[in-house]
Amino acid sequence: MLKKFIGGLGSSEKFEIPAHDSPLFQNIQWDRLPRHVAVIMDGNGRWATGKGLIRTAGHRAGVKTLKNILKTAIGLGLDALTVYAFSTENWKRPRPEVDFLMNLFSEYLIKELREMDEDNVRIHFIGRIEGLPPGLQKQMREAEELMKDNTGIHFNVAANYGGQDELVRAVQRLAAKAAAGEIQPEDIDEAAIDQELDTAGNPPVDLVIRTSGDERLSNFLLWQSAYAEFYFTDVNWPDFRPEDFVAAMEDFAGRSRRFGGLKNQ
């Protein structure tokens, strides 16, 4: 049974949400899981060019990985999974690649919406959504609306997202409220900023995973990751399997989190 996971999935094989007693989860410490995991899905381009394919083939392969990781996160009972799909800096890429990614997000929503809803997922798009193609914005809003009363995992997809940009937008809204006399400047505390962020209502990020070897945050969830643990792997995102995600959970379980204090959590 374990071989099924370790051996990887055949291209037509559908990956289901693993049960609590799945062999995949045999070494999980259930009381030491992160609540909120953020993933920088890097290495799609390198995966593709390494196989002699065009870069966009890597993004398409990355969608399948994302579906399986979301199912794994649901099986683990995580509160939130936030993934970096498109940054405010990604507009610098060649136009055909940007267009491909926008179409891929749209296609993903068309194909996966119903199943995510059945899986009780609450999807949410974070970032400067108004900067995305209008048709995609509409699909995103409709997807959020469809799943808003679900009670399962918060699945946040960062699109046209930058952590600094998110903070600028939050501060601008707070400044507007102060200028309108709705709040006093001294009311602006950590909780007030937290509530203005795109991730309002989510727990802080406990664990950031970055695939493909680079070890940086790349403007992702700057505020939310203040006390996050980091997990880096050389595996390219399209090759990142549920057992790799589980390995990150097992690694996290062994971390000593002190949040600036002295005692272990």
Contact between 66 and ligand FPP by CB under 6 A: the answer reads yes
223 Cβ contact list (under 8 Å, min separation 6)? 163, 166, 167, 193, 194, 197
232 Cβ contact list (under 8 Å, min separation 6)? 209, 210, 213, 214, 215
59, 122, 124, 210: residue in contact with ligand FPP (rule CB under 6 A) = 59
Find the binding residues for ligand FPP in span 137-166 (CB under 6 A): 157
Catalytic residue flag (residue 90): yes
Minimum Å gap between C-beta 107 and ligand FPP is 8
Contact between 120 and ligand FPP by CB under 6 A: the answer reads no
24 or 157: whose CB is closer to ligand FPP? Answer: 157
25 Cβ contact list (under 8 Å, min separation 6)? 18, 75, 76, 246
18, 37, 38, 42: residue in contact with ligand FPP (rule CB under 6 A) = 42
71 Cβ contact list (under 8 Å, min separation 6)? 15, 16, 17, 18, 119, 242
5, 34, 36, 43: residue in contact with ligand FPP (rule CB under 6 A) = 43
Minimum Å gap between C-beta 55 and ligand FPP is 6
Minimum Å gap between C-beta 92 and ligand FPP is 11
Catalytic residue flag (residue 42): yes
Candidates 71-79, 103-111, 160-168, 177-185; binding stretch for ligand FPP (CB under 6 A):
103-111
191 residue type, one letter: A
Contact between 85 and ligand FPP by CB under 6 A: the answer reads yes
Written as one string, the DSSP assignment of 194-248 is: HHHSTTTTSPPP-EEEE-SS----TTSSTTTTTT-EEEE-SS-GGG--HHHHHHH
Minimum Å gap between C-beta 201 and ligand FPP is 20
Contact between 210 and ligand FPP by CB under 6 A: the answer reads no
Query: Can you tell me the distance from the alpha carbon of 115 to that of 94, in angstroms, rounded to the nearest whole number?
Result: 32
> Could you list the active site residues?
42, 90
